[in-house]
Amino acid sequence: MRSTRSIPSVLGLALSCLADNPIVQTYYTPDPAPMVWKDTLFVYTGHDEDVTVNNFFTMNDWRVYSTTDMVNWTDRGSPLSHKTFNWSGGKAWAAQCIPRDGKFYWYVTAGKGTGSQPAIGVAVSDNPTGPFKDPLGKPLVSQSWDDIDPTVFIDDDGQAYLFWGNPKLYWVKLNKDMTSYSGGVNVTNMTTAQFGTRTKDNAERKTTYEEGPWIFKRKGLYYMVYAAGPLPEPIGYSTSNKPTGPWTYRGEIMSGANTGSFTNHPGIIEYKGKGYFFYHTGKLPGGGGYKRSTAVEEFSFNADGTIPRIGMSDKGPNPVDSLNPFQRVEGETMAFSSGLKTQGNDQSGVYVTSIHNNDWIKLRAVDFGAGGAKSVEASVASAGQGGTIELRLGSQTGRSVGTISVGNTGGATSWKSVTTTVSGATGVQDLYLVFKGSGTGELFNLDWWRFAPNQTESVHPARQAKDPESLVDVYTASGTRLRSNRRREDALRGLDRGVYLVDGKPVAVLGR
């Protein structure tokens, strides 16, 4: 069900010239918290509702998105809300998730009881996308109105720390179970030497530190990055040789001007050899101080370890990998989109919905290879008259390589696989899925899509791999996973003669 269309289709032509910030357009997604797990970068966000109540933060759940190329983001749904915590009567403010010993710990800000005083809770899962459960049945920290914006860090010696707070910076030493802490709550001495001098001083806030702390360690140096003051919030940072300080103020990373939001929330992480700075803005259509959206910029640390000034961009990062169209791609994987929404349920998972005429999805760096594609398959559902999906290259009005026709399937989640031929999809391209249909109503829903290649590569399993360090996965032609190996020839060695899927592409093994 849609309440408000995040980006009206009439804005499609204007938005197509942008690259891909903010990274999510189907929801407002404040307070980004990135996490790398195996080969995937996840970002955990808040969710500003489309309809703001009482001119204040209206937030009921948290969301998760993932990428392996830094430009195409897959919506992993909302595996956690304030209702997960039976002690909370509302609020779903800033949060951060971290892995440890095969589990994932999501530290959140939620309202305590029926009142509005915030507290910090923790939810635990065996999977980075949930389901998450509250192991305590009570807040982890609940002392005052200062208890917001947790950030968590595990040092090289295994000691974990939790920091939080506005207008002061608090911290505790977490126990190895990650759901309790030893000793009392510590409060950092808020000096200007540690956090800089606020340009508009007041009795309570003399330093630049405001809220939204983010801690990480790099090359033996500890970094405390935070939303600074006065409003609108810039992002500042301090460093230390110890995880709990004392800190040395290092300056401002990002200006608070022109963000379209009076708040901000940083998250810094390194992924595939590059540095990424996450923050939020109010720059989506309809956005603002209570409707904020996650954005990201690529950056490099200075030689001395300091962080450079980082500007906001519409472009965002360059891709660090290509998207393989010959394996199943979830419909909710997008570099940018116009008009539509996503939703999910236990039976169907997350899918694209609220699709209207002229809505579209953009995907970047789609690698069709030299041989190109011969057909495309999509899983769709429609309770009405349906419509079409135009497959275009370069823009939503670019060259058409095929059109998928969608009819009535008997229900909005009665999924049916449809296939059509394509022509001219070769090389690395930006692919647009452009939705067409008559009338002004919703057309159909989209679950996933997958292209088929023009040709099957034939190899002998003993052939030397082109990239011996690449991890390759081998599946049967029907999609059953067989094995993985760093060396392509080792992954294929010993297989019976036949066709297999190697990293999503068909390979005919010729045998010994």
Dist. CA 78–CA 92, nearest whole Å: 12
Contacts of 65 (CB under 8 A, 6+ apart): 23, 24, 29, 42, 43, 45, 73, 74, 75, 76, 294
Sheet holding 274-281, edge to edge: 267-271, 274-281, 293-299
Q: Read out DSSP for 455-477? A: S-EEE-TTSPPSSTTS-EEEEET
Name the DSSP class of 450: E
Look at the alpha carbons of 175, 178, 180, 184 in this order and tell me if their dihedral is positive or negative: positive
Is 167 within 8 Å of 205 (Cβ atoms)?
yes
Catalytic residues: 31, 211
**Residues counted in the chain:** 512
Instruction: Name the token pair of 66.
Output: 């993932």
User: Measuring CA to CA, how many Å separate 371 from each of 321, 367, 452, 507?
Assistant: 19, 10, 11, 13
Instruction: Name the token pair of 150.
Output: 């947790």
Dist. CA 110–CA 132, nearest whole Å: 15
Sheet holding 118-125, edge to edge: 88-100, 103-112, 118-125
Is 166 within 8 Å of 180 (Cβ atoms)?
no
User: Measuring CA to CA, how many Å separate 173 from each of 118, 179, 182, 378, 431?
Assistant: 20, 11, 6, 49, 48
Dist. CA 486–CA 292, nearest whole Å: 41
Dist. CA 72–CA 14, nearest whole Å: 20
Is 474 within 8 Å of 461 (Cβ atoms)?
no
